[in-house]
Structure 1
Amino acid sequence: MTVKQTIKRIIPIFVLKVLRKGKKRIADRRANYLQTKRFKRWFSRDDSTDKARVETRLAFDIHRLEKGLSHVDFRDGFGKGVLSEISKRMVLLEKVDPRFMENPLYLQGLAVLHEYQSRHKKDGYDLSEVESLFPVRIWNAAFEYQPGAPVNAGSFVMNALSKKDNLSKGFVELAEHRYSVREYSSEPVPQELLDKVYEVSMKTPSVCNRQATRVYQITDSERIMKALKIQGGFLGYAMPPVLLLVTSDIRAFMNNGERNEPFVDGGLFSMSLLYALEAYGLAACPLNAMFNLSQDRQTRELLDIPDYEFPVMYIAVGNFPESVPVCYSTRYEPEKIVTRI
């Protein structure tokens, strides 16, 4: 008889259960601690100076500028704070990447700055104040950057007619031409169309087919306005006709090892929703639900979300206007993200 078997015979079962629970609690706390510690060690801070984290900050600020450039109500002189950040990161990238002129993020910086310069030049707006934020070499390189170069950034105009036959398109074409749209026509979104979108999205895989994802469909304009005011990332845009909040029901998960699974399953379902919306010719934009404690409390109260659900993300939905500017949101080449083992 082994030592383990002997201990089991000597110690009462209820004591063994208590010991096992204690051991599991310690393991869970250690896992949570190590995950938090790893995140805090590696996330991109404002004062980060290594290449990967400088690129993270630069990508974030490029997209912020793209959103301003793609706004229907374009405002001359916008974004000086963002432009200052872009200048700072491009200078840092020059220092940490010897091949910065081949770096896609650096080139995106030039491309988005080029559109900013061109749009203001066309409007006859004086950019001397903005120009002073950049080293001369970067400002001039952006001015000379050619639109349509291998790496692009900024905005372009999308026409609703290009979405007319989406249901007959293959997945590759559909995916390649899906862009986030933040401004919509006044035409209401038919409920039967949304129901078809949900039906398609139900094919999304989930851990052991537990299907924990829930969707809150909001069409009341006042609640949409309140929800997005709390969310804080859709300021400056007219309210969408429909706002979806995707959540995950924590009761569908069985142990601390699955603590991240609500967001995995919720994220998978959200992407299915976005593709289904695109297929049925509806415009959409995912919006984060990374709430602080106050935002979380207010959102739960506003939408009557139970404590056992995690908010995953919002998705703004509407019909495409006749034409609408959207962000390029240039993606990396696959070689950047794939490691072959």
Structure 2
Amino acid sequence: MKQKIDQLILKITLSLIYRLRTRFDNKKKHYISWAISSPIKSTIYYSLFDNSFDNEHYRILNGKFNFSSNKLSSGVYARTRRNIHRIEKGISASLLVKREMFAKDYIEETVFGVEELLNTKYVNTPFHKWSVDVLNNYFQLVKLDEDLQYLSEKWKIMFNKFNIKDLENVNLHIPYNYSKLPISNIGFSELDSLFKRRHSVRWYNDKKVNVKLIKQAVESSLSSPSACNRQPFEVLYITGQRLNNMKALKLGFEMFSDNIKSFIFIVGDLSSYTEEQDKHLIYIDGGLFAMSLMLSLESLGISSCPINYPDTVGLDDKVQKILDLENYQKGVMLLSVGYANEDSPIPFSAKKELNEIFREIN
């Protein structure tokens, strides 16, 4: 009975909000001056008068729900990836300053998370190897109390159960010295030249881009930094009819639409998080990846253009239908890619000067 009453109250409330939004649609500016005085008033304003954040709330909650309810979601995978990365950061710190204990508040969750992922065969070999080596290193390094002794024994059983020994002879995927990083033959002048070379190209010739080159650029760009190494995105290479369907959305590229032969679409995965504080990480990590990707493509002679993907009402719903996405996925960046027409005009795009954006603060 109580549940039915609650549902009725929610239904009535929702109906009232819809009516308020319709009635006061032309009076938003009047209420903005009232709403800007505090965060709670701003929340009330968007709840009652403006639907601009409805889509974000909807997809964040879907991500949060999928994280907790779907064992095969990237939520469990992302959480365990994050924890493994946190552990290896603790190992790195311990190599410099001896510490007897760290990660005790999430080590159990990590061990059982790795077990769950290995049981479902959800993970690939690189993660398999990385998680195994880091946990082995952890249990060798820390001082074992009663709780950790139990987890250490549990880990040994898992180690034998999943034939993890097959990976023992491969190079260890654990923290290593900075001096062992690969030597780079690229100096500042070469990097600066690549930055200046990369420009947004909007006019492409008819030469088809080999998907192997796209994969090569994507794989290289996966070295981009990501918050706790979760990499909460998917990369879609779009051609054919779905390309035409995406073009029909008219996102500001209509004047050169006929030249576009393929899109790369970076899609954020909000099921990688449980906390609203992390809601912007899909854009941060996706943006870091996108810049690396554009530079990688440029190094392969492939031009690109980042296209505005605004958070307009209904856009993600339309894209979701075209590309068969999930409710917790959200567009981050759309790129047109192809081989530049040699006569393609390139906007000069004068950039801000250093003194406009840089301040030294002591």
Structure-2-length-normalised TM-score = 0.47
* Higher strand proportion (structure 1 or 2): 1
